[in-house]
Amino acid sequence: MAQPRVVVVGAGPAGVRCAEALVAAGIRPTLIDENRRDGGQIYRRQPESFSRPYSKLYGTEAARAAAIHSTFESLRGQIDYLPQTLVWNIEGHSLYLVRESRHITLTFDALVLCTGATDRLMPVKGWNLAGTYSLGGAQVALKSQACAIGNEVVFVGTGALLYLVAAQYQQAGARVRAVLDTAPWSARAGALPSLLAAPATLWKGLLLALKLRSAGVPVYTGIEPLEILGTAENGVSGISFKDSGGRVVELRCDAVALGYHLRPETQLADLARCNFYFDPSTRQWLPQVDPDGRTSVSGVYLAGDGARIRGANAAENSGRLAALAVLQDLGQAPAVDTVAALRGSLEKLDRFAQGLSQAFPWPAQHAGRLSDDTVVCRCESVSVGELRQVIQQTGACESNRAKAFSRVGMGRCQGRYCGHAAAEIIAHAANVPIEQVGRLRGQAPVKPLQIAAVESASLPASVEEAK
């Protein structure tokens, strides 16, 4: 019998561990990744010509990064690796890829989506000014290009990544003007029992915060951002916010990094027609998965942050678990102990993730207070006021309906960056519960697709043979 074709999308920690477990079971998976090099976002590798040491690039996570990279290197001969390849659509058990501006169709028996996460964003007036980056974007600039986003950077938002990126900038020699956290200090106390599920990670987080403080970086908690200041010509020149006491504070800076924790990249799961459910604790729609990563669609699995935000360590284990689920569904009996151990560790990390979302909550309440002239959808340049007006005039209170009338979420990001905030604005303006607002339906292409890229190419020889 021909070998089953197992395709893994994403070469971050989840994808690499998944591929590793598949190879160990005698399968030659196809590993597709959009990036030039493996590692995903968190363990993103620098260009070959750069020579910064791991300790400098990954800090406390250097050993884990090295382990993932060396595992990937050791797998190279046993997998079909397609870097710089975009999966732009899925239909049934066929993937539609673009590689080097050529189109490829690839069929699969099992598909493991390890598509990771991007920043979860809440607009703030002025966030469309040059010099505003997402936290993830600020981190990519540093890791991949050894660049800071500005000379004097303010970090705004909430979540672990806020402190991590600020600390990385500080360490790299950038001037961190301040860290502005929307979460009140008190939220952390309530989250402590859950956070103790992963004491080592908690300790690392506390050390980061201490390091920033001892470096003299002002850290404000319980703030509300008011405006990123500046001009269209010269970009960011400062930021104003309300501190926890309600006083308006203005800081000068030339760049702002913004982010409120992460959101899973679920467009491929959506195109594969997986079911989604509303998660009230994080106020977002997530793909349904069983503890091992099986979705509602037979043959489609999710692992890592692309399923649910649980962090890099959980990604590795969920990648392994998804591989074992694939093997089991293909008729190979998995080692019961391994599955149990992996599930056990994931349960702990689940609790920790819940603690994080409790300690650093998504500031839904800010959406209702955004000024009308704040841009909500940057792709289509739609203001909060225009969205509110559409809701008022048309009665549209469902995301896709509001999108049809207002263009919010219609642009090149398809609402990945504005969708959550737009949903909160709609819920507030129409006075309906957030779950009733629904979620923006994903449409192909997952990322912009060049029209000329439709000429077919053939697959690399080894992938072709496996067909």
**Kind and range of the H or E element at 71?**
helix 62-75
Residue 404 as a binder of other proteins (CB under 8 A): the answer is: yes
Instruction: Between 91 and 372, name the residue whose CB sits nearer to other proteins.
Output: 91
Q: Which residues contact 153 (CB under 8 A, 6 or more apart)?
A: 138, 169, 174, 175, 176, 177, 253, 254, 255, 256, 257
Instruction: Between 156 and 377, name the residue whose CB sits nearer to other proteins.
Output: 377
Among 186, 443, 462, 465, binds other proteins (CB under 8 A): 443
- Cis, peptide link before residue 287, omega less than 30° from 0: no
Rounded Cα distance between 404 and 125, Å, is 24
Whether residue 365 contacts residue 406, with contact meaning beta carbons closer than 8 Å, is answered with: no
State in angstroms the smallest separation of the CB of 298 from other proteins: 18
State in angstroms the smallest separation of the CB of 26 from other proteins: 31
Residue 394 as a binder of other proteins (CB under 8 A): the answer is: yes
Residue 84 as a binder of other proteins (CB under 8 A): the answer is: no
Instruction: Between 253 and 382, name the residue whose CB sits nearer to other proteins.
Output: 382
Strands 117-119 and 262-264: antiparallel
Place of tokens 């990126």: 165
State in angstroms the smallest separation of the CB of 450 from other proteins: 5
| Of 257, 276, 218, 250, residue with least CA distance to 419 | 276
Instruction: Between 36 and 412, name the residue whose CB sits nearer to other proteins.
Output: 412
Instruction: Between 52 and 273, name the residue whose CB sits nearer to other proteins.
Output: 273
Residue 419 as a binder of other proteins (CB under 8 A): the answer is: no
Whether residue 157 contacts residue 259, with contact meaning beta carbons closer than 8 Å, is answered with: yes
Residue 57: what are its φ and ψ, rounded to 5°? -75, -40
Site string for other proteins, 99-138 (x = CB under 8 A): ----x-----------------------------------
Instruction: Between 308 and 403, name the residue whose CB sits nearer to other proteins.
Output: 403
Residues 170-209 that bind other proteins (CB under 8 A): none
- Is 391 in a helix, a strand, or coil? helix
| Of 308, 405, 295, residue with least CA distance to 353 | 308
Whether residue 463 contacts residue 80, with contact meaning beta carbons closer than 8 Å, is answered with: yes
Residue 412 as a binder of other proteins (CB under 8 A): the answer is: yes
Instruction: Between 329 and 398, name the residue whose CB sits nearer to other proteins.
Output: 398
Among 24, 74, 84, 91, binds other proteins (CB under 8 A): 91
State in angstroms the smallest separation of the CB of 91 from other proteins: 5
The DSSP secondary structure of 202-247, one letter per residue, reads HHHHHHHHHHHHHTT--EE-S-EEEEEEEETTTEEEEEEEE-TTS-
Instruction: Between 13 and 445, name the residue whose CB sits nearer to other proteins.
Output: 445
Rounded Cα distance between 339 and 266, Å, is 25
Strands 219-220 and 175-181: parallel
Other beta carbons within 10 angstroms of residue 398's beta carbon come to 16
Among 411, 432, 435, 460, binds other proteins (CB under 8 A): 411
Stretch that binds other proteins, among 42-50, 74-82, 406-414, 431-439 (CB under 8 A): 406-414
Instruction: Between 91 and 373, name the residue whose CB sits nearer to other proteins.
Output: 91
Place of tokens 């103790």: 196
Place of tokens 């509300």: 224
State in angstroms the smallest separation of the CB of 96 from other proteins: 5
Instruction: Between 87 and 141, name the residue whose CB sits nearer to other proteins.
Output: 87
Stretch that binds other proteins, among 166-174, 298-306, 330-338, 438-446 (CB under 8 A): 438-446
Instruction: Between 154 and 402, name the residue whose CB sits nearer to other proteins.
Output: 402
Among 81, 96, 155, 220, binds other proteins (CB under 8 A): 96
Residues 444-463 that bind other proteins (CB under 8 A): 444-445, 448-452, 454-455
State in angstroms the smallest separation of the CB of 323 from other proteins: 27
Instruction: Between 237 and 400, name the residue whose CB sits nearer to other proteins.
Output: 400
Would you give the DSSP letter of residue 84? Answer: S
**Count of residues engaged in binding other proteins, rule: CB under 8 A:** 24
Rounded Cα distance between 166 and 283, Å, is 26
Rounded Cα distance between 65 and 213, Å, is 26
Among 414, 422, 425, 434, binds other proteins (CB under 8 A): 414
| Residue 172, Cβ density class (10 Å: 0-12 exposed, 13-18 middle, ≥19 buried) | middle
Among 410, 432, 457, 466, binds other proteins (CB under 8 A): 410
Contacts to other proteins by CB under 8 A: 89, 91, 94, 96, 103, 393-394, 401, 404-405, 410-412, 414, 443-445, 448-452, 454-455
